A = this chain, B = another copy of it.
C-alpha cells in the first residue's frame, strides 16, 4: 500500500472566519479541507461559555509541507493580531497522495 508523507495543519479559530479562511486555504494551494464545529478556551478567554455552543471551528488541511507553511504564514500575518486562532502541524501519511 503506497503511503506518502504530508503535513496535517489544524487551525482552531472563530466560526465567523470560516468562509474567508476556506478561500485563503484554497488560494494557497490546498486541495481539500475538513471543518468541525468546536468550543473551547484559548488565549482570548472562554468561547461559548453560554448559549452559543458552536462559535469556534476546527479546520484540518492535509497538504504538502510547503503549502501548510504558506497557509500558516498567511493566516499568522492576517489574523493572529485580531482573532482567537491557534495553528499546529503534524506529520501524517496519506493513502492517496494525488488527492492532496
Binding site for B on A (CB under 8 A): 1, 3, 6, 8, 10, 12, 22, 26, 31-43, 56, 58, 62, 69, 72-73, 76, 80, 86-96, 99-100
Q: Is the interface of A mostly helix, strand, loop or mixed?
A: strand
> How many copies, total?
3
Cβ-neighbour of A93 out of B39, B89, B95, B99 (below 8 A)? B89
21 A-B interface contacts by CB (under 8 A): A1-B69, A1-B72, A10-B92, A26-B41, A31-B43, A32-B40, A32-B43, A32-B86, A34-B40, A34-B56, A36-B36, A36-B38, A36-B39, A86-B96, A87-B95, A87-B96, A88-B92, A89-B92, A89-B95, A90-B91, A90-B92
Q: A99 and B43: CB pair below 8 A?
A: yes
